């Protein structure tokens, strides 16, 4: 999942990702720089786009996100849609690949004529779509991409790219301070070197942790898709750290934890929101008990908005929503709020309304967008006991 800048500047002649029903479709060749009209819709519908990983190693992220968006669309349509127009959701599967994300984004804009689109969860894949949104003047809201570069092009804020989640400098700081409060004096870091999210979060954690007086005993690399981590863990074990910081996605984290226990390592793991999936516990089989990760919300939160959303989600899908579902629901509702407040239903007008978002009441907390189009909001720390996550603490910006 390494992001290549050249990707979005080249002509993309790749088949489009799968549609909402997860059946792959083909798309005509398209270029990331294609310009389209931003004219107001003339029909009685508004097309809302969504790109996410419905298949691949992080499929639960995309599926949860799509579920959350579907709930938001259903609710908004029951309220007479947007300015009397019905919302139609068009979702494409990125397959967990940046190049497929870029093709899907181009197709949503050039063929489906979306007014706004949502996605991705992974920062590498949102980075592949961001220039496409900007060049076509169609707003993109990411629900969970936390790398700072998602909304920044060098020193400049991307005009049409937004997010409803906190960013990695904050998330990394949260866990560094948490490690310090737990009196972990030595921590080993294991990062996925092919993932912008993992690399960035590891860097921000290390920077803050060292400033607080902590020692990084090792900084070890692996790649998504690896299944054997015993060489890295054996190296780490020799330095006897008090905890392991692994800012990666749930499959690799869970497998790594099981192998660490097989090697006799009892240290707690720490990580970020990439851990948040029921699959984490299914694969770990208890190996992560005593570990911690930062996240966007806790289902144990008793605030009315959280309780209500969980009840609706469980009724629709038979499961407790993860943070990805919550953030996607919030992202869709931020988009709908902006559409309602926009002077007209065009990309630039909706962009202006999104940028003005302030104190919007989301399930994962009130959302105010800062000058860089990032959400200013708290993080929670989840502790794992008996192979389940439980609320530990809340950390405010």
Sequence ranges of the domains in the chain: 5-165+306-377, 168-295
Segment (H or E) for 382 = strand 379-385
Spatial CB neighbours of 211, under 8 Å, sequence gap ≥ 6: none
Q: What is the widest separation between alpha-carbon atoms in the chain? A: 66
23 pLDDT higher than 50: no
Q: What is the mean pLDDT of the chain?
A: 90
Instruction: Yes or no: say if 221 and 193 are a contact pair by the CB < 8 Å rule.
Output: yes
Domains 5-165+306-377 and 168-295 share a fold: yes
Question: Between 3.20.20.80, 3.40.50.2300, 3.40.1360.10, 3.30.70.141, what CATH number should domain 5-165+306-377 receive?
Answer: 3.40.50.2300
Residue 197 to residue 33: CA distance in whole angstroms: 25
Instruction: Yes or no: say if 40 and 346 are a contact pair by the CB < 8 Å rule.
Output: yes
Instruction: For residue range 190-246, list pLDDT tens digits in order.
Output: 999 998 899 999 999 999 999 999 999 999 999 999 999 999 999 999 999 999 999
What pTM does this model have? 0.83
Q: Cα dihedral angle (211, 216, 221, 225), rounded to 10 degrees?
A: -90
- Supply the DSSP symbol for 149: G
Residue 229 φ/ψ, nearest 5 degrees: -115, 15
Segment (H or E) for 17 = none
Predicted pLDDT at 109: 98
Q: What percent of the chain has pLDDT over 90?
A: 86
29 pLDDT higher than 80: no
Instruction: Return the structure tokens found at 74.
Output: 């259903």
Place of tokens 């299914």: 282
Instruction: For residue range 266-284, list pLDDT tens digits in order.
Output: 999 999 999 999 999 999 9
Instruction: Yes or no: say if 119 and 126 are a contact pair by the CB < 8 Å rule.
Output: yes
Among 2-16, 119-133, 302-316, which stretch is predicted with the lowest mean pLDDT? Answer: 2-16
Query: Strand pairing partners for 295?
Result: 380
317: exposed, middle or buried (Cβ count in 10 Å: 0-12, 13-18, 19+) = middle
CATH class of 168-295: alpha beta
Q: Nearest to residue 61, comparing CAs of 211, 265, 262, 273? A: 273
């Amino acid at each position: 999942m390494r992001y290549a800048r050249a990707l979005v500047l080249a002509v993309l002649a790749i088949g489009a990702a799968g549609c909402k029903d997860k059946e792959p479709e083909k798309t005509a060749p398209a270029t990331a720089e294609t310009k389209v009209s931003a004219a107001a819709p003339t029909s009685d519908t508004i097309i809302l786009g969504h790109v996410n990983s419905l298949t691949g190693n992080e499929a639960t992220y995309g599926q949860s996100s799509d579920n959350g968006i579907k709930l938001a669309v259903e609710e908004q349509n029951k309220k007479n849609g947007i300015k009397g127009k019905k919302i139609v959701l068009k979702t494409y599967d990125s397959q967990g690949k940046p190049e497929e994300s870029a093709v899907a984004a181009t197709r949503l804009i050039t063929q489906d004529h979306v007014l706004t689109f949502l996605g991705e969860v992974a920062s590498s894949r949102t980075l592949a779509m961001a220039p496409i949104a900007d060049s076509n003047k169609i707003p993109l809201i990411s629900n969970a991409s936390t790398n700072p570069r998602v909304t920044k092009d060098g020193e400049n804020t991307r005009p049409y790219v937004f997010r409803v989640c906190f960013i990695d400098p904050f998330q990394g700081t949260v866990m560094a301070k948490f490690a310090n409060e737990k009196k972990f004096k030595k921590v080993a870091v294991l990062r996925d070197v092919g993932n912008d999210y993992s690399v960035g979060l590891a860097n921000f954690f290390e920077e803050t942790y060292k400033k607080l007086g902590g020692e990084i005993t090792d900084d070890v690399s692996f790649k998504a898709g690896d299944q054997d981590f015993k060489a890295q863990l054996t190296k780490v074990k020799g330095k006897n750290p008090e905890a392991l910081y692994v800012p990666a996605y749930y499959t690799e984290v869970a497998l790594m934890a099981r192998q660490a226990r097989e090697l006799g390592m009892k240290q707690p793991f720490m990580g970020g929101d990439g851990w948040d999936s029921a699959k984490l516990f299914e694969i770990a089989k208890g190996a992560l008990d005593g570990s911690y990760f930062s996240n966007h919300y806790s289902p144990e939160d008793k605030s009315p908005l959280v309780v209500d959303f969980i009840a609706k989600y469980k009724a629709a899908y038979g499961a407790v929503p993860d943070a990805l579902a919550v953030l996607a629901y919030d992202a869709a509702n931020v988009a709908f709020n902006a559409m309602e407040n926009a002077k007209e239903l065009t990309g630039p007008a909706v962009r202006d309304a999104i940028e003005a978002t302030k104190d919007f009441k989301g399930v994962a907390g009130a959302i105010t967008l800062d000058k860089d189009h990032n959400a200013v909001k708290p993080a929670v720390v989840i502790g794992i006991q008996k192979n389940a996550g439980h609320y530990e603490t809340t950390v405010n910006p």
